[in-house]
Amino acid sequence: IKHQIMDTYESWQDLIRIFKDRDEQLDQSGNLQRFIRDLEDFQKWLSSKQSEIANEIIPQTEADAKQAQTRNELLKGEIDNYSSQYEQMKTTGNELCDGNTDKQDYKNFQLRLEAVDLGWNELLQMWENRDKLLLELVHFMQFEKEGRAVETLLNKQDNFLQKIEKP
pLDDT digits (tens, 9 = 90+) for 49-64: 999 999 999 999 999 9
Q: Where are the alpha helices (DSSP H) in 55-103?
A: 62-97
CA angle 106, 110, 115 (to 5 degrees): 145
Helix axes 104-163, 62-97, angle to 10 degrees: 160
Q: For residue 83, what pLDDT is reported? A: 95
Which residues of the chain fall below pLDDT 70?
99-102, 166-167
Give the Cα separation of 93 and 9 in Å (integer).
40
Give the Cα separation of 111 and 145 in Å (integer).
50
Q: For residue 101, what pLDDT is reported? A: 64
CA nearest 76: which of 131, 21, 148?
A: 131
